[in-house]
Structure 1
Amino acid sequence: MLFIFSCILLHLASLTTAQTDCSNDVGNYTTNSNFKRNLNSVLSSLDSNTQIDYGFYNLSVGQPGPDQANVIALCRGDIGVDDCQNCIRNSSGKILQACPNQKEAIGFEDTCILRYSNKSIFGVVEDSPKYFIWNTANATDVNQFNQALQTLMSRLRSTAASGNSLRKFATGDETAGFNTIYGLVQCTPDLSEPQCDDCIAGAIQDIATCCDGKRGARIRKPSCNLRYEVDRFYGVTPATPQLPASPSPQAPSVPPPPPPAERKKRNNARTIIIIVVSTVSVVILMISCICLYLRIRKPKEKVETVDEMITAESLQVDFIPSQPAFFMNSSTYQSDISSSMDYNSRVAHSSEAKTEALPLSANEASITELYPR
């Protein structure tokens, strides 16, 4: 019932195309509240922002919570920056007058939409509230007109949805018998392509509900809108602005080649360094080999020295102990000598006469048998 009443009221007030809606769903604010200060700040920034030239603003002021002011402003894609800012400025004043203490409100103007809220509204499809304005005149051939209108709206819907995050906007025309239908569709660019497509598709379906067979109509929703007329109502549609390209990584700068003289000096220095390093490496290697050889050979020399000491020194008796551990038995010694001489006399008779008994020296004795004491 409220929906039908809104359509009738807007139709009776078709001379003005501005609408304002104040919502009490998210609460109210007072004059000196933090939300009021945040809202005034963000609306002022819209008016003074000269950097955005594509007609879409989405700004926030304040910490996330009940006092944060989130604002979306969308201008029609075929108007310039000055007209866009004038429209937003006018809409802002009207909203603050119509909704003096509501934390959520929206205003529709002929060439712009402005809405704010303390809840998150970015990237979210919002279908309510929606407004219908239609031309009271009917098409001559309703079926032919509706068929051409559906063809036009489907084409524009696809074009607008495929736009980027700066603009989702499309205009065009389609012939319907003796008439030409001019159409326009638009989404807030913060929506994704499927979100925009669904929003416009819903608005196209609403045509049959409110405006079937009418020669012109407007359907406005917070996230998207469409309009068609049999007279051209839009200006030249500018090209969709391109997103700024991400800076490509710069290639490292290559220094210019040095002059020949400097290059020759560098080559000579490099050669000298190579020679010095090679020489030092060889010397270090040789020293290492020598040290390793000496370490291996040293134990062997010690063993040979000990052997020589045992061979040369152990065979000399430098003194005769007063009480030797062993003594010679004279009788046995004489017997051995006699036996030896007898044996020698038999072997060599010619040397028998020359054999003399030699005196025994204790220092030069050859010990044949040793007897313990």
Structure 2
Amino acid sequence: MWVQLTALSLILFYLLIGITLVEALLKCYDIGNFSANSEYGKNRDLILASLPSNISAKGGFLTTSIGQNSNKVYALAMCRGDSSPYACYECIYRSIHNLGTSCPNQKEALLYARSPCHVHYADRSFYGTLELEPPEVGFNNDEITSNLTQFYTAWESLMDSVGEKASNGTSTLKFADGEADFGEYQKIYTRMQCTPDLSHKDCDSCLSLSVSYFKACCHGKKGGYVRRPNCYFRWELHPFYTSNATPPPSPFSPPPPLVSLPPQSANSTNTKEGGGSSSKTIVIIVVPIVILVAVLVILAVAVVLKRIKKIKQDNQNDKSRVESLQFDFNAVKFATENFSNANMLGRGGFGSVYKLEDGRKVAIKRLSKNSGQGQQEFRTEVILLAKLQRKNLVRLLGFSLEQKESILIYEFLPNSSLDNFIFHPVKRLLLNWEKRYKIIEGIARGLLYLHQDSQYRIIHRDLKAANILLDKEMNPKISDFGMAKLFVPDQTRAATSKIVGTFGYMAPECARHGRYSVKSDVYSFGVLVLEIISGKKINSFTTQELGDSLLTYAWRNWNEGTAWEVVDPILRDGSRSEIMGCIHLGLLCVQDNITCRPTMASVVLMLSSYSMSLPVPSRPAFSMHTTGEKEKKPDSVSLFNQSKGEAIQVSANEASISELSPR
């Protein structure tokens, strides 16, 4: 029993520390496979086998290709800038072995090795192209508890200087390390590297984004790292590197195999005459093992208790934060003059919206008593918005949940929602291209905060023009989190048998199978971008027109070289390159294959960098078929859930809670 317990504790211990300390990631891309003994497979094996010996002659960085046409394989290998030739050789040698066994027939794969190297091969040329996905982050569990202001001043200055130094490297090496003092007798150490095929600007963008990503996710941690296909950075509060690498042996030889004990034959014996030496040997071996296991058990229990304590503290903080926002219902009732129609701003699918009788600028949303889903959406919205603080998210000021009433109190936003402008024949004239581009950027940054930069990972699941509110300066704020889902940090996707969202904005994997992820929000964002540019609703096209929806209409014009026809006529004086770039980006976001859609981190980078080369979009995913204008539209659309074999209801845009008058 003791052996089983200690073994279980040992496994638990390694699982716990592996969450934050393992610096390895293997990615087998699910974009196409090759068959056994195919020409592509032979070329893949040949090019991988050539990497260890060739990379040493190239100084630790190598790009190469083999084959023709569809059988051509491209490969990149890079070792850390301070690696000795032998360490580089050994790391690449082990990496190609892992790639060959773990990704036996994938046409593209990438390995960030725990040792100082990485290998990437594909059936496409990716040299010199900035690629940010997939990222890999790790951090130390210990936190900085003092001198935070002084620390972050020194930390940010060091990251900027070392990042600039690495970006200014040569075409064969973009690598730098550095250190900075903070506090008394304390130092910060960091190391950064890019693949040398990147330009100075792209290298700087990759490192800057990684530094920002680490700061957002791991604020206060004592060290960590971020790896991306094109760059890597790590920092610690202790020296983790040496300035001189160990010289390699000569000549090079393949590294020795991992040492393993030979199997013992069934009839062999280990007994000796008298048995004394054997007993002493057993004691010498067993006692240290028992001590080691005991220490590991203690450490494992300590880690578990620390995590449990932190979870309890977080829950208590969340509870306190939510309780501090609770208002007395009678006070709210008095402030709205018993919810009089004179103070009503609008009515939505889940309730009505009011303002205060004394003119104070807040908005009060009162959920309908007969709303079947209202209570659940209410709890979700309160919990999430109480935790989130971001200028591109609507701010929750308070709530009330008593006397069978559910009340939400928000900041006042005088310009109502985005759909009341871009689809209005007169109000849309107030939004020139500069303002619409600013709105697109703000929505993208708000989604990036939800998906990555906040301490939680949140999927909105109902992003649309009616759920984008505008303040007095026309800055966008994402609202209505009633359908949002909270993911744990390492979770990437989930599924539900109850499909929610707005048809037309909903990603195909959500409508077909109930599967949602951050890429589902990316799809909705792409629809929204195309609506903002065209001034047309997703369902504004009939089957008699060029396309059966805005998506196919935009794609056909893009494909035929007439994308300018998609643009709202009042935007024709705007920046043509920005507008065309946003159409391109919108089409990438609505791809049917979720792996072809960018992440919001990539979207934000694309919006801020004009030098990035974007892939060519294919035909977008399915879109809503509509009938003529005169036909009455239903309140909901019935689909068939292929994975569950049952009918599901999807709310139409007209039934949204956010169809409100100006706030």
What is the correspondence of 1:274-293 to structure 2 with a 5 Å cutoff? none
In the alignment, which residue of structure 2 is the partner of 1:91?
95
What is the correspondence of 1:129-208 to structure 2 with a 5 Å cutoff? 129-141=134-146, 142-178=148-184, 179-208=186-215
In the alignment, which residue of structure 1 is the partner of 2:54?
49
Change (3 A) 1:11 1:206: farther
How far does residue 44 in structure 1 lie from its aligned partner after superposition?
Answer: 1.2
Change (3 A) 1:11 1:225: farther
How far does residue 15 in structure 1 lie from its aligned partner after superposition?
Answer: 4.8
Q: Work out whether 1:62 is the aligned partner of 2:59.
A: no
In the alignment, which residue of structure 2 is the partner of 1:74?
78
Q: Deviations over 1:22-55 (max 9, x none)?
A: 1112x11112111111111111111222652521
The answer to whether the 8 Å contact 1:77/1:237 transfers is no
User: Equivalents in 1 of 2:142, 2:88: separation in Å?
Assistant: 30
The answer to whether the 8 Å contact 1:22/1:104 transfers is yes
Deviation >6 Å, runs of 4+: none
User: Equivalents in 2 of 1:131, 1:10: separation in Å?
Assistant: 17
How far does residue 98 in structure 1 lie from its aligned partner after superposition?
Answer: 1.7
How far does residue 150 in structure 1 lie from its aligned partner after superposition?
Answer: 0.8
User: Equivalents in 1 of 2:217, 2:190: separation in Å?
Assistant: 17
The answer to whether the 8 Å contact 2:52/2:93 transfers is yes
In the alignment, which residue of structure 1 is the partner of 2:27?
21
Change (3 A) 1:86 1:207: same
How far does residue 158 in structure 1 lie from its aligned partner after superposition?
Answer: 0.7
User: Equivalents in 2 of 1:216, 1:50: separation in Å?
Assistant: 30
Q: Which amino acid is the alignment partner of residue 87 of structure 1?
A: C
Q: Which amino acid is the alignment partner of residue 24 of structure 1?
A: D
Q: Work out whether 1:102 is the aligned partner of 2:109.
A: no
Change (3 A) 1:193 1:40: same
How far does residue 235 in structure 1 lie from its aligned partner after superposition?
Answer: 1.9
User: Equivalents in 2 of 1:83, 1:22: separation in Å?
Assistant: 25
User: Equivalents in 1 of 2:211, 2:46: separation in Å?
Assistant: 37
Q: Which amino acid is the alignment partner of residue 153 of structure 2?
A: Q
User: Equivalents in 2 of 1:119, 1:207: separation in Å?
Assistant: 30
In the alignment, which residue of structure 2 is the partner of 1:296?
none
How far does residue 95 in structure 1 lie from its aligned partner after superposition?
Answer: 1.6
How far does residue 125 in structure 1 lie from its aligned partner after superposition?
Answer: 0.6
What is the correspondence of 1:197-236 to structure 2 with a 5 Å cutoff? 197-236=204-243
Aligned counterpart in structure 1 of residue 118 of structure 2, from 113, 118, 141: 113
The answer to whether the 8 Å contact 2:56/2:89 transfers is no
Aligned counterpart in structure 1 of residue 131 of structure 2, from 103, 126, 135: 126
The answer to whether the 8 Å contact 1:60/1:70 transfers is yes
Q: Which amino acid is the alignment partner of residue 104 of structure 2?
A: P
**Alignment gaps of 5+ in structure 2:** 1-14, 246-663
User: Equivalents in 1 of 2:107, 2:125: separation in Å?
Assistant: 12
TM-score when normalising by structure 1 = 0.58
Change (3 A) 1:158 1:56: same
User: Equivalents in 2 of 1:74, 1:145: separation in Å?
Assistant: 32
How far does residue 18 in structure 1 lie from its aligned partner after superposition?
Answer: 1.9
Change (3 A) 1:209 1:195: same
The answer to whether the 8 Å contact 2:55/2:89 transfers is no
Change (3 A) 1:197 1:187: same
Q: Which amino acid is the alignment partner of residue 79 of structure 2?
A: C
Change (3 A) 1:113 1:15: same
User: Equivalents in 2 of 1:150, 1:121: separation in Å?
Assistant: 31
Let me know the Cα RMSD of the aligned residues: 1.8
Q: Which amino acid is the alignment partner of residue 13 of structure 1?
A: I
The answer to whether the 8 Å contact 1:10/1:132 transfers is no
Which secondary structure state, in structure 1, belongs to the residue aligned with residue 130 of structure 2? coil
Change (3 A) 1:229 1:60: same
Change (3 A) 1:118 1:50: closer
Q: Which amino acid is the alignment partner of residue 120 of structure 2?
A: R
User: Equivalents in 2 of 1:189, 1:15: separation in Å?
Assistant: 27
Change (3 A) 1:109 1:131: same
User: Equivalents in 2 of 1:94, 1:228: separation in Å?
Assistant: 27
User: Equivalents in 2 of 1:10, 1:120: separation in Å?
Assistant: 38
The answer to whether the 8 Å contact 1:70/1:118 transfers is yes
Q: Work out whether 1:35 is the aligned partner of 2:9.
A: no
Which secondary structure state, in structure 1, belongs to the residue aligned with residue 107 of structure 2? strand
The answer to whether the 8 Å contact 1:84/1:112 transfers is yes
Q: Larger RCO: Structure 1 or Structure 2 (Cα < 8 Å, ≥ 6 residues apart)?
A: 1
Residue range with higher mean Cα deviation, 113-122 or 94-103: 94-103
Change (3 A) 1:185 1:10: farther
User: Equivalents in 1 of 2:16, 2:44: separation in Å?
Assistant: 28
Which secondary structure state, in structure 2, belongs to the residue aligned with residue 49 of structure 1? helix
Which secondary structure state, in structure 2, belongs to the residue aligned with residue 24 of structure 1? coil
User: Equivalents in 2 of 1:10, 1:75: separation in Å?
Assistant: 28
User: Equivalents in 2 of 1:10, 1:117: separation in Å?
Assistant: 33
The answer to whether the 8 Å contact 2:154/2:181 transfers is yes
How far does residue 227 in structure 1 lie from its aligned partner after superposition?
Answer: 0.3
Q: Which amino acid is the alignment partner of residue 40 of structure 2?
A: F
How far does residue 97 in structure 1 lie from its aligned partner after superposition?
Answer: 1.8
Q: Which amino acid is the alignment partner of residue 126 of structure 1?
A: E
Q: Percent identity of the aligned residues? A: 36
User: Equivalents in 2 of 1:50, 1:221: separation in Å?
Assistant: 20
Q: Which amino acid is the alignment partner of residue 113 of structure 2?
A: E
